[in-house]
Structure formats: C-alpha cells, structure tokens
Structure 1
Amino acid sequence: MAFARALRVGMIAALYVCSSAGAQLKFTERASDAGCSVVHQTALQLPDMEFMAPGGAVGDFNRDGHLDLFVIGGGGGMDRLFLNNGNGTFTDVTLSAGVGRTHRGTGAAVGDYNNDGWLDIYVTSIGTTQMQSAGRNILWRNNGNGTFTDVAQAAGVRMTHQSLGEAFGAAFGDFDGDGDLDLAVAGWQGGNRLFRNNGNGTFTNVTSIALPAGMNTVKGYAPRFVDMNGDGWPDLLWVADFLTSRYLINNGDGTFTDATASSGTGLDENGMGNTYGDFDNDGLFDWYVTSRINEDKSAGSGNMLYRQVSPHVFEEISVAAGVNFGYWGWGTEATDFDHDGRVDIVATNGWEAPNQADPTQLYMNNGDGTFTDRAVESGILHAGQGRGLLTADFDNKGSRDIVIFNTRQPMLLYRNDLPNPGATSITLRFVTRHVLGLAPDGFGTKVVMQTPGLTQMRYIDGGSTYLAQSELSAHIGLAGATHANLTITYANGMTETLKNVPAGIYTITARACIADFQPDGVLNFFDVSTFLAAFSARHPQADLNDDGVFDFFDVAGYLGAFSAGCQ
C-alpha cells in the first residue's frame, strides 16, 4: 500500500460511453457565444512592447468545480474576469470582483500563494495607460467571497525593475520544497526576478543569491518550473530573446546552476514561449521553445524541440520532427488533444508586416518522432496576431480546449469537440495543501499512467506558455484503453498507487494519514462518511488495498486504519 493514501471528497465524473482513441478531432470557436470575448485594446503605442501582449490565465476561482478565465485588457480596456456558469457560458464579474484594473498588462499566473485554499492571480504590467513605468505588477489575493484585493506592494512583488515597466511571463512553483509557492518573473531589460515565498504572505527577492550570475543579460519572456530529471526539485526553464534562453538546474539547496551549454539547449534564436512533455513516451520530459523564422526561411532559427536523451542532456530535433517552421512564434502548449496516448503541440504566431496573418499551428504527434500540422482540418482557422495561449477543459467533458489571446484583436476560445472525450481520457486535479511540505493544488506532482503496452508521464506546474497559464491538472489520453494504473509521486516524495482506474475526471486529495479523509488532522465521523461516499462513488482512492475492486476488504481496511488513528 502506498505511503501516502490520499482522499477524495468525490469524483467529478466518469463521463459518457466508450469510444475509440483517434476519433476525428474538431474544434469550434465559441468565445462570443460563450460570453467571454474580449478585444485587446491599447491606449498609445510603445515601440515593440505594444505588440508583445496579451495573455491570461485559467483557474477555479470560486471553487465551484468549473474553470474560470482571467483576461488581460491592454491599457485601452480593463482586465476581465469571467466565471464559468457550467453550461458553456461565462459571466463577466470583473467589477464585482474588483479586478477591473486598466493598465498596460502583459501576462498572468495563477497560484494559491498564501495557502488558504483560494487561487490568487499575479498580473505583470509594463506601465500605466499613458507611459511605460515601473512598479505596476499586481497580486490579486482571492478573498474567498467573490472579491480580490491587490496586495502586491505589501507582498513585495509589485516592482521587478527599478526604473522600467517591462515584466512579461510569470510562473508560480515551489523551488525550495517548503510547501509554499515561490514566484519567477521574466523581464526583457534586466528585470528577471525570483521571489521566495516567506510563508507569511510576503516574498523575498532572492535573484542574486539563488540564480546564476548573468541573469540581468537574459531578455526574458517565459519562465517555467519543471522537474526535468525526476529528482524531486523543479528546475527553471527560462525562455528569452536573442539566444539568451537558460536551462537552470535546481541544486536542491535554494540555488540554481546554469546548464544551458552542457544540456545542449539555448539554441533558439528568439525564444518567446515554451512547453514541455514526454513526446516520445520514453520517461523523460522534452522541451519545446517557440522562436521566429522568416517565411522564406532566410533568417531566424525557427522553433526548437529539445529531446531529452538522458537526465539534463538534450538533442535538438525540430526540423526532423516537423515542428521547426512556425512563422513568428509565441504562446504554445502541449497536451494529448485526441487521446491517442501521444502528446501534441499547439502554437500561435504573428507579428508586424509581413507576418500579420501567421496561422496558429496544431502539431499532432504521429508517434514516430514526427508531427503533422492539422490546425485547418481540425477547425482552427485562426491567422492573425496570436500572443498568449492556454489550454483547459472548460466544460468538464474530459478534453482540452484552447484559448488564444491576440494583440489588438478579439481573443478566441476553441472548444474541443472530440466525440465522447470523457470515455477516452483520465484527468486528475489535486488538493495537496493540507500535507506538510506540499505546495497547494498539486504543484510539483508527477503522474505515471500505465495501460497495456503504454506508459505515459505528466507533471503539474504553473508555467508560462508565454504570458498565459493553462489548467492545473494531469490530462492523459487512454489510447483505446478503458482503465489505467496510476502512480502518483508528490513533491515531497510521497507516493500513491491507484489501480484499474476508469476513464473520467477525478480530484485527488493527498494526505499522510490513511484514515483522515477530510483531511483536517482530526479523525471523526466526517472522515468515515466521506470515505463511504467515496467508496459508493467508486472513487479510486477508496480502493484501499489497491486491487482495483471495491469490496468488503476496503471498508474493513478503512475502519481498521480509523481505529488505529494517525501518528
């Protein structure tokens, strides 16, 4: 039995009837119909920087089980917050929530920085509506009552550059393993910053002592905390312009080492966005970085795909894989869109003339080391000024939708209309904040899924795809199977095995004591009733003996553990 048995207060759903993997993938653009269409607006032009934004982020901000959407406005319009109604539509609650700030916003990151159970929002900015100015970043603390309060100044994360407003991508992650979320912020003009969470609602700037020398020369766009070698410590992928991207290894002592050269990365000439995934299912995460290339291929490196061949050692294979030519690349994300057991890539593009109508690309993984762009045939007809991009399951059907944020154009929401997606995938969302040493919402959790003849791996992070953050979950296609065995490794080393798990969407709650099903550190009737509810719902965490069967032995095992108490 696993060292850590987690709980569940219930399974969201195991949806629909079975369908085969590889069904026809189709997307439908729904932003206007869904009530969440926002046109990015700017008040004045700032050379170049004006065209870098916008982005946004997704999260269940009111904890109703449906993913909501935060959108950057752009200086000519306020930032917006849309609550998901659970019926395919959204409600604009910007004013009542208090987040309607008008500024030159760039990107957003989501994480429960104060560990109170409510997702907060960090917003990067390059200034006021009139000018580029420093100290305009925002930390919206979720008050848990439908409103937010800007606490950036008190928390110590309002300013990332002493004299310039130039913050771009941001990412939460627990780099020091103390159970609270730290914050990385990218800047193009010397404003790269790493803030350590003090655990009391404030942060300390540890850039000079935690990051290697020379980060002030890195023209940063998109940081991301990912444990690339499986040692339990999240490394820092720092995507940047003009051949300054960095691959930073977490030393496990609060510092990072620059391994860009030795790792074989940093070849992207103009790194903009990034994503990662085990694209070849070999048990090692690979790294994809968007960049630029002229349409006649006369200049620019194009996108880079760094395949990890051994821990922290990569080979660049973008041309052979068919993912190098991406126009002027920006936001990108990797997930299994068609549930065939292979991780795909979506990337959006665009810039000034002659790149004004660069198409978004949907690189579908062929399973042989190559990808094919199937955006148009899948219904993604976007060609324009794409910047930020994220993926999320907004309708809780078991498939990933796509949001594209455009410069001075409307944002787009592409609904994934894959047939019966809930029967062909497993999605895990995590509750981890109650366990000592674990950051909230599953940050740093690794999931390995096994089906006959196939092993897949996922990781929970809050990284910047480029000014945007996707859903915090592990989404895995079943590739024709109906059940899977799952091994969950939490950031503090606790493990849990769930066997014979059927397709569906589950919330997994980590706990160090098997009987504490709330979990609140106290054993009482509520733990018993919660276990019995999970058992009745056939939630995987109620299968206490890991045999894939829900029977008397599980109930007896729980009652025995309850009687023994927690140590």
Structure 2
Amino acid sequence: TGEVSRFYVNQGGPQAGTIGFYVEDTNNRWGTLISVPADQEVDPDNLQGAWRDWTCDCDFADLDDDGFTDLFHSAYGPNIDGSDDSRIFINDTTGVFDELWPWCFGVQGSTMDIRTHTIDLDLVDLDADFDIDVTMSSRNSQGRIYMNNLYNGLSASAFNDISQFALVAQGIVSSATANYEGEFGDVDGDGDFDVWFKNWNGNTDRIMRNDGFTAGSGVQFSQQNNWIKNDPNNDENEVDFVDFDGDGDLDSFVANFSGTNHLYVSPQGELPTGNPGGLTTLDGETADVDNDGDQDLAVANDANQQNYLYRNSLGIPDTHAPTFHAVTNQADKANGSSTVIHAAVRDNTSYYVVQFYDVKLVYTVNGGSPVSVDMFAQGSMQFRGVIPAQTDATVAYHVEATDLAG
C-alpha cells in the first residue's frame, strides 16, 4: 500500500520555538483528497488527511503564483511499475495542501501521461513567462515535460503534457532503462534553462538545449550529443550544477551508483573526484559550508556507507554577480489593485542555492522615498514581490539581487 509522505515543521519563526528543530505535523498538513484511492487513504471516510504512495521525489514551488509554496508529488508505483498518478497539492495559504485534480491534459492530439517511473522531477520555468513548469525523469519510460498554463497558456487545464512536441517530435527519445534524474541550468548562457538527463541513451547522459517557446505548442528542445565530453558511460544516479572553479560558468558533479563520482568542468570535460571507489552515491549537494566564497560538496552514500564532505581547496571566491533573465515590465494600469512583480534571476550555481539570495523589490510613488520589499522565492530561481494598490500615482520600480558572497 505504499508509505505515508510526512511533513516536518521547522519550529523557528511563527512557531516560536528553536529554529532548526523539526516536529512532525503530517496529519495537519494534508488537506482535501480527490483522486487518491480509498485503499491508499489513512482515513478513507474523511476524503482528506494523510495517504500512502510510492514516491522518490516531491518538490515545492509556487505553482499558482499566489505567493505561497505548493507541492508537486511524483509517483513511480509499487515495484516501480509506473501504475500510480503524480499529483499536485495547492497550499491553501495556511500551510494545508489540497489536491488539485485533474491537473493535466495532452496537446496536439497526444494524450497526457502522469503515470511514470519517476525517481526525480524539477519545477522550472522553461519559457520565461513567470509560471513554473515541470520536467520529469522516468526510469523505465519516456521522460516528460508538463507546461504550466497560468501564463502563455495552451489550454484551460492547469498543465499540459507537451512531451510529444517538446521531446519526441524533436527526436529526443529515452532508451527507458535508467533515466533516474534530470537537472536544469542555463548551460549555454542564453538565459533560458536547459536540462541534463542522466542515462538518457543507455548509460550515456544527454543535455537537452532549450530552443524556445512556440505559441500553441509549448517549449521544444534539441539533443546535444557533443556537450558532455568523456562520459564514462556508467550507471549514474544524479547530477548537480556547481561553479567549483569560480570562472562564472556551470560545472557539474555526477553521483555514480557504484564507482567513481565525476566533476565535469565547463568547457573542458570530466575529472574524477578522487573519492574512494565502489561507493553507492545517490546524491551530491553544493554549498559554501566554510564561508570562504567557493562552493563545497556534500556526498550522500547508500548501503550503510560513510557520507563525505569535500571542501573546495581552490580558494577562488565568487566574483560573478547575479543577473536577471527577465523582470516584469508593467505598463500603465487602472487604479485600485496591487501589482505583482516577478524577477527571474540567473547565477553560476545550482537553483537551490539561488533560493537563499537576498532579492528586493524597490519602488517609489510620485518620486517619493524608495520603499524596499523582500521578494518571495517561488522556485526555479524566480522571485515575487508586490507593489500595493495606488491611486492616480506614478510608480517607478527596480529589483536588486545579492548573492551569498554579497
């Protein structure tokens, strides 16, 4: 029957406890259930609350652009048979997550597929329209792309499965044997997000270049077979982008199931990390743990093996400031309503590091003193701020982003 996905609430902030200490709050966080079968619900008579499933990855992002974090809950099914639905849960603004169902349809005569063998997903704005889309790996079937229809909409559905147009019609077909993960980043420096898929053609990794949005169809990709040099063609599990050498472009760390982990240096090729061989590495995460300005690496290993923290010894501080791929260009508008401003930030690091940046919306009304507002991290390196409603006023604004190096 699967296992219950659980919520643990940080006791800092409004909880008035000690920050960094967590208390399980599962029963109070799962809200209304719509599509979950009764035999997977913990309390099937209430149509709400905790439920059981088979999942390896769930991600948070503001999917409906209301300033609150929502949840995309992937599934791979019992024995990774791809028989269970992935689901979306919308934050009701109090931290309770209600199921959105149905959430997806197909386009261009294709059918949607939300039953996959998903081990990893990413929530990412692929077309720079300030709503957050979905890329999904699938271990034993075709990877998927779901486009958010909040802006640049393709239909009245919340999302559309555009995998046929975005991938298959462009000749991007997975061998469906071991595609455990995909990771997004601006690999080619053009501002939009490309996707690195693990084990896409057998054990060979591929990077899919984002070729932009087509009205009525969605985003399309092209497979770049020469962007990854010296791929060892091993069964690898995960990839993270990191500028470990401080030159401003994205390098990457690749976690190997059983063997040597590798660093890929942009634009040169791959280097072994020097970690002990034979580890079962499932994940690596990057952060400046010693506050010396460069990115370090934590490696998580399976099978009761020791985990490792690798300190970056190059000592090259980050001197590359964040940039903006897009910022809301607000035209004149009627009185009486607030104005939402979005900012899509780019920098030489992983998306989850950017979420901790200090991003501020600064505005003036009729030339008065500047007002600075903290912007909310929505996911996908995107931030949201609100200018309050004004009457017969001239409003000027800009956005400032400061990375962790200051």
Which TM-score bucket, shorter chain as reference? Answer: 0.5 to 0.7
CA offsets, 1:415-448, max 9 Å, x none? xxxxxxxxxxxxxx9974249xxxx732426xxx
**For residue 124 of structure 2, what is the amino acid of its counterpart?**
G
Letter in 2 for 1:442: V
SS at match of 1:198: strand
Deviation at 1:110, TM superposition (A): 1.4
Contact 2:240–2:252 (8 Å) recurs in 1: yes
Deviations 1:69-110 (A, max 9, x none): 111122342111011111121110031455882232222011
Counterpart of 1:178 in 2: which secondary structure? coil
Query: Is 1:529 aligned to residue 395 of structure 2?
Result: yes
1:273-306 Cα distance to aligned partner (Å, 9 max, x none): 1211111111111111111344xxxxxx521211
Q: Which residue of 2 aligns with 1:211?
A: 228
- What does 1:242-253 correspond to in 2, within 5 Å? 242-251=258-267
AA partner of residue 22 (structure 2): F
Matched, 1:155 2:172: no
Query: Per-residue deviation at 1:117?
Result: 1.5
CA distance in structure 2 between the aligned counterparts of 1:225 and 1:527, rounded to whole angstroms = 44
Deviation by residue 1:516-563 (Cα, 9 ceiling, x = unmatched): x99xxxxxx9994254xx9xxxxx959xxxxxxxxxxxxxxxxxxxxx
Shift of 1:163: 3.8
1:82 matches 2:89 = yes
Amino acid at match of 2:129: D
**Residues 293 and 315 in structure 2, CA contact (< 8 A), matched pair in contact too:** no
Structure 2 match to 1:449: none
Assess, with a 3 A threshold, how the Cα gap between structure 1 residues 248 and 265 changes in structure 2: closer, same or farther.
farther
1:270 shift after superposition: 1.4
CA deviation after TM superposition for structure 1 residue 245, in Å = 2.0
Unpaired segments ≥5 residues, structure 2: 1-11, 32-49, 77-81, 106-111, 151-155, 214-218, 317-321, 329-342, 361-370, 379-384, 402-406
Aligned with 1:442: secondary structure? strand
Aligned position for 1:275: 285
Give how far 1:194 is off: 1.0
Q: Which amino acid aligns with 1:142?
A: N
Equivalent residue letter for 2:314: S
Aligned with 1:92 (options 68, 82, 99): 99
Corresponding residue to 1:441 among 336, 344, 348:
344
Report the CA distance between 1:308 and its aligned residue. Answer: 0.4
Relative contact order: is structure 1 or structure 2 higher (C-alpha 8 Å, sep ≥ 6)?
A: 1
1:139 equivalent in alignment to 2:145: yes
Taking the aligned partners of 2:327 and 2:26, their CA distance within structure 1 comes to: 36
- Residues 267 and 433 from structure 1, CA distance in 2 versus in 1: closer, same or farther, beyond 3 angstroms? farther
Instruction: Give the TM-score taking structure 1 as reference length.
Output: 0.48
* Counterpart mapping for 1:505-516 below 5 A: 505-507=374-376
Q: 2:179 is aligned with what amino acid?
A: A
Match of 2:116 in 1: 103
Check whether the contact 2:122–2:183 (CA below 8 A) recurs between aligned residues: yes
Give the Cα separation in 2 of the matches to 1:203 and 1:174.
Answer: 13
**2:351 is aligned with 1:461:** yes
Q: Which runs of 5+ in 1 are unaligned?
A: 1-14, 42-52, 128-133, 295-300, 313-428, 446-458, 463-470, 476-485, 489-500, 510-516, 519-524, 535-539, 543-567
For residues 336-371 of structure 1, give each alpha carbon's deviation from its aligned partner in whole angstroms, at most 9, with x where no partner exists: xxxxxxxxxxxxxxxxxxxxxxxxxxxxxxxxxxxx
**Partner Cα separation in structure 1 for residue 128 and residue 199 of structure 2:** 27
Deviation track 1:149-197 (CA, whole Å, cap 9, x = no partner) reads 1111211269876543421111110011101100011128414221111
Q: 1:162 to 1:432 in 2, by over 3 A?
A: closer
Moved over 6 A (4+): 157-161
Q: Is the 8 A contact 1:190 1:218 kept in 2?
A: yes
Aligned to 1:558: none
Q: Is the 8 A contact 2:172 2:222 kept in 1?
A: no
Residue deviations 1:479-499, cap 9 Å, x none? xxxxxxx799xxxxxxxxxxx
**Which residue matches 1:117?**
130
SS in structure 2 of the partner of residue 114 of structure 1: coil
Identity %: 21
